[in-house]
């Protein structure tokens, strides 16, 4: 049997890639004998992010068509999923590719993506291979975009190659030029798949002050005298905030600061026509905005909107259609009082409720909560879901353009859910509420290595963003059946119980550290881990998820012991248990590198759970 794939339409590179993928998987799935199979791939040129695709297939072949080249690739993966392929996580080790009979090829259906914004933003510590595997997985799981933070992802790759938070591994050379090289490779692989590229975000304010701000690291170089007046005045002092350029705000009442920021964005947009979206954000901390006499006459959000309008004016004059993403985050959660965006079509609103709880999904019912009064450099970030949504509603009353939520379920909260079932269900519920929230999609700011015990949360996220009518529980069952074979129900029961007993909030520093209920729940988790057999029942069919369960059982038990002692107020014993857990993760990192971000687990538990303070 020969499999012949033809293609036509714009985006030849993406169509050729889609053809290669379809042929490779069908070759693995179909019997080698039989009549030839001929499939035509056809693409339109509709740039709308809500991709549409259709399959019209028989035993002898047919067609997969899409509204754009990316839609054809999404259609190919969707068709393979209908044939029984399961793309359970990044990398070939998570793929399930069944044998199928020719008669199973018949299909006739159409689909349109529910939301135009469906993506992931890089975080944590990552190798080149981690990033490339994740990029490869994105369209397989229904996503259409990827966000490479800063001007290069140096911050995230250097953490891995320098092996930060793992003294058992020798640091490897990795510098800014390496990141530039890797950035080019990542962009090439994204464009090969037709995926939408988001860039920058953090770093603009540091660059205005004369620093190459590619991370959140402190910079020992003193702030130049001729730029000191550009920095925010906080407590009567102008300078780098805690020594970190990326965390330092600007004095926007100084016209030089606004002009410098607008010039940087214009120059970057001219030099980066491949960027579908450029994010323009301010400093990545709060309660450090400029309090000089002139800045106090207005609000940071009004100043921000004015700068965005200047950026729009310059890009329009340059004939650039680049979309600009602006951020609702920290002080910028409060909407501007007077200033408005002159040309909404240029902009995309990004709502970033970083301080929210993940114990529950977005709360849309009940009376709308008021936005608390803004007090300069005295704000308290909202954890309550209703209060977070009040800020979004405030902005939506003055901006009705394109928008998405930039949320963090797999950035910190997921480490508090030891079964990953709870956080997957919260994600599924959140996505189903986006339309009622007036939002056009979701980008997850997260670790790429978030697959211990499995990658269920990202699986639910991607397929629900593609089709908001997807049943979350059906996706959970589908995932577990593919990952664990005939014994899947036992694993689902076990991990669901771990999730029920876990607490995303407690691990993330929300609530009192001494908590008898948390201590009890952590003891129950340890008992569950002791009693669970991390292998299929005798005679049962295996699956790719089983390999991790033995290690996950050790990890979850160690983390639960650490939290139990902390919740009992046994600080020194808890600190010793936390160090032992770190040793377990560090020793096992070579084998389980792709599924657990050791750097990030230790950073989160140190800074948010409270172990940094205990060490001090």
Pairing of the two strands 61-66 and 95-96: unpaired
pLDDT number for residue 366: 85
Q: What 8-state DSSP symbol labels residue 487?
A: G
Do 244 and 378 lie in one domain? The reply is: yes
CA angle centred on 392, ends 306 and 605, rounded to 5°:
105
pLDDT bin (cut points 50, 70, 90) of residue 36 is very high
Do 466 and 439 lie in one domain? The reply is: yes
Residues near 457 by beta carbon (within 8 Å), at least 6 away in sequence? 409, 410, 414, 420, 423, 424, 427, 450
pLDDT number for residue 344: 97
Q: What is the CATH number of the domain that holds 424?
A: 3.20.20.70
The answer, yes or no, to whether residue 383 has pLDDT greater than 90, is no
pLDDT number for residue 541: 85
Bridge partners (DSSP) of residue 123 are 447
Do 330 and 359 lie in one domain? The reply is: yes
The closest of 235, 597, 290 to 449, measured between CA atoms, is 597
CB 445 within 8 A of CB 121: yes
The closest of 293, 295, 292, 346 to 319, measured between CA atoms, is 346
Q: Which helix (H) or strand (E) holds 277?
A: strand 277-280
Domain assignment present for residue 478? The answer is no
CB 139 within 8 A of CB 193: yes
The answer, yes or no, to whether residue 1 has pLDDT greater than 90, is no
Mean pLDDT of 604-609: 97
Share of the chain above pLDDT 70, in %: 100
The answer, yes or no, to whether residue 280 has pLDDT greater than 90, is yes
499: its two tokens: 């999730």
pLDDT number for residue 590: 96
The answer, yes or no, to whether residue 249 has pLDDT greater than 90, is yes
pLDDT bin (cut points 50, 70, 90) of residue 337 is very high
Interior/surface letters 456-467, b for 16+ CB within 10 angstroms, e for the rest = bbbbbbbbbbbb
pLDDT bin (cut points 50, 70, 90) of residue 384 is confident
Question: CA end-to-end span of the chain, whole Å?
Answer: 68
The last residue of a domain, from among 470, 492, 515: 470
As a whole number of angstroms, the distance between CA 569 and CA 185 comes to: 49
Q: What is the pLDDT of residues 72-81, one digit of tens each?
A: 999 999 999 9
Q: What is the CATH number of the domain that holds 20?
A: 3.30.379.10
Mean pLDDT of 404-428: 98
Packed helices 176-192 and 128-140: angle between N→C axes, nearest 10 degrees: 20
Pairing of the two strands 237-238 and 233-234: antiparallel
Could you tell me the pTM of the whole model? 0.97
pLDDT number for residue 540: 85
Average pLDDT, the chain: 97
The last residue of a domain, from among 79, 112, 145: 112
Share of the chain above pLDDT 90, in %: 96
> Around Cβ 584, how many Cβ atoms within 10 Å?
17
- Write the DSSP string, 117-150: EEEEEEES---HHHHHHHHHHHHHTT--EEEEEB
CA angle centred on 337, ends 331 and 342, rounded to 5°:
100
The answer, yes or no, to whether residue 47 has pLDDT greater than 90, is no
Q: Is the dihedral of CA 11, 14, 16, 22 positive or negative?
A: negative
pLDDT number for residue 294: 98
Do 297 and 399 lie in one domain? The reply is: yes
pLDDT number for residue 616: 84
Mean pLDDT of 548-576: 98
As a whole number of angstroms, the distance between CA 338 and CA 356 comes to: 28
As a whole number of angstroms, the distance between CA 578 and CA 65 comes to: 53
Contacts 24+ apart (CB under 8 A), 469-473: 469/114, 470/428, 472/424, 472/425, 472/428, 472/429, 472/432
pLDDT bin (cut points 50, 70, 90) of residue 245 is very high
pLDDT bin (cut points 50, 70, 90) of residue 34 is confident
* Rg, C-alpha atoms of the chain: 25
pLDDT number for residue 508: 96
Do 559 and 430 lie in one domain? The reply is: no
Do 184 and 123 lie in one domain? The reply is: yes
CB 276 within 8 A of CB 196: yes
pLDDT bin (cut points 50, 70, 90) of residue 48 is confident
Do 128 and 64 lie in one domain? The reply is: no
- Domain extent, residue 44, equals 3-112
Select, from the ranges 359-373, 484-498, 532-546, the one with the highest average predicted confidence (pLDDT).
484-498
The closest of 500, 513, 507, 496 to 570, measured between CA atoms, is 513
CB 77 within 8 A of CB 135: no
Residues near 170 by beta carbon (within 8 Å), at least 6 away in sequence? 163
Domain assignment present for residue 449? The answer is yes
**Residue listed under structure tokens 């966000």:** 147
325: its two tokens: 């993403």
Q: What is the pLDDT of residues 454-504, one digit of tens each?
A: 999 999 999 999 999 999 999 999 999 999 999 999 999 999 999 999 999
pLDDT bin (cut points 50, 70, 90) of residue 93 is very high
Do 446 and 502 lie in one domain? The reply is: no
Domain assignment present for residue 408? The answer is yes
Mean pLDDT of 72-91: 98
Domain assignment present for residue 476? The answer is no
As a whole number of angstroms, the distance between CA 65 and CA 349 comes to: 31
Q: How many domains does the chain have?
A: 3
């Amino acid at each position: 049997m020969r499999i012949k794939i033809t293609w036509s339409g714009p985006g030849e590179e993406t169509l050729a890639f889609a053809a290669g993928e379809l042929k490779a998987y069908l070759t693995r799935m179909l019997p080698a004998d039989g009549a030839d199979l001929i499939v035509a791939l056809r693409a339109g040129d509709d740039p709308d992010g809500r991709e549409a695709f259709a399959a019209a297939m028989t035993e002898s072949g047919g067609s997969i068509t899409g509204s754009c080249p990316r839609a054809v690739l999404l259609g190919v993966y969707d068709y393979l999923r209908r044939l029984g392929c399961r793309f359970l996580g990044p990398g070939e080790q998570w793929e399930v590719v069944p044998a199928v009979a020719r008669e199973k090829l018949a299909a006739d259906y159409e689909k349109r993506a529910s939301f135009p914004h469906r993506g992931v933003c890089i975080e944590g510590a990552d190798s080149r291979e981690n990033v490339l595997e994740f990029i490869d997985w994105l369209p397989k799981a229904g996503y259409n975009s990827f966000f490479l933070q800063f001007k290069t992802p140096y911050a995230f790759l250097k953490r891995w190659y320098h092996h930060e938070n793992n003294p058992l591994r020798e640091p490897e050379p990795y510098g800014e030029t390496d990141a530039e090289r890797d950035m080019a490779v990542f962009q090439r692989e994204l464009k090969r798949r037709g995926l939408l590229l988001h860039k920058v975000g953090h770093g603009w304010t540091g660059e205005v002050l004369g620093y190459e701000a590619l991370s959140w690291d402190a910079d020992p170089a003193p702030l130049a005298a001729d730029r000191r007046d550009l920095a925010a005045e906080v407590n009567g002092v102008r300078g780098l905030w805690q020594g970190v350029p990326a965390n330092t705000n600007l004095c926007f009442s100084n016209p030089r600061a606004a002009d410098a920021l607008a010039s940087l964005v214009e120059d970057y947009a001219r030099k980066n026509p491949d960027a579908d979206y450029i994010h323009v954000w301010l400093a990545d901390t709060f309660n450090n905005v400029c309090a000089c006499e002139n800045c106090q006459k207005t609000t940071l959000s009004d100043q921000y909107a004015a700068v965005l309008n200047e950026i729009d004016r310059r890009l329009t004059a340059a004939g650039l259609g680049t979309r600009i993403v602006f951020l609702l985050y920290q002080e910028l959660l409060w909407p501007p009082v007077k200033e408005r965006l002159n040309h909404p079509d240029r902009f995309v609103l990004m709502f970033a409720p970083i301080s929210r709880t993940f114990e529950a999904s977005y709360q849309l019912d009940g009376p709308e909560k008021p936005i608390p009064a803004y007090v300069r450099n005295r704000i308290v970030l909202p954890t309550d879901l209703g209060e977070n949504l009040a800020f979004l509603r405030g902005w939506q009353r003055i901006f009705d353009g394109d928008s998405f939520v930039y949320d963090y379920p797999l950035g910190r909260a997921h480490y508090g859910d030891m079964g990953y079932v709870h956080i997957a269900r919260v994600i599924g519920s959140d996505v189903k509420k986006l339309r009622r929230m007036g939002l056009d999609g979701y980008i997850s700011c997260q670790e790429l290595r978030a697959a211990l015990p499995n990658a269920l949360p990202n699986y639910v996220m991607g397929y629900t963003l593609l089709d908001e009518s997807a049943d979350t529980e059906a996706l959970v069952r589908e995932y577990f059946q593919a990952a664990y074979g005939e014994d899947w129900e036992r694993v689902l029961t076990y991990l669901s119980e771990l999730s029920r007993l876990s607490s995303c909030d407690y691990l993330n520093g929300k609530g009192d550290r001494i908590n008898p209920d948390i201590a009890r729940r952590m003891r129950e988790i340890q008992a569950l881990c002791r009693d669970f057999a991390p292998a299929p029942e005798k005679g049962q069919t295996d699956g790719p998820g089983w390999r991790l369960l033995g290690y996950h059982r050790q990890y979850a038990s160690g983390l639960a012991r650490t939290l139990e002692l902390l919740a009992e107020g046994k600080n020194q014993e808890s600190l010793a248990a936390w160090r032992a857990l770190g040793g377990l993760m560090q020793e096992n990192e070579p084998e389980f590198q792709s599924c657990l971000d050791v750097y990030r687990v230790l950073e989160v538990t140190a800074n948010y759970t409270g172990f940094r303070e205990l060490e001090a």
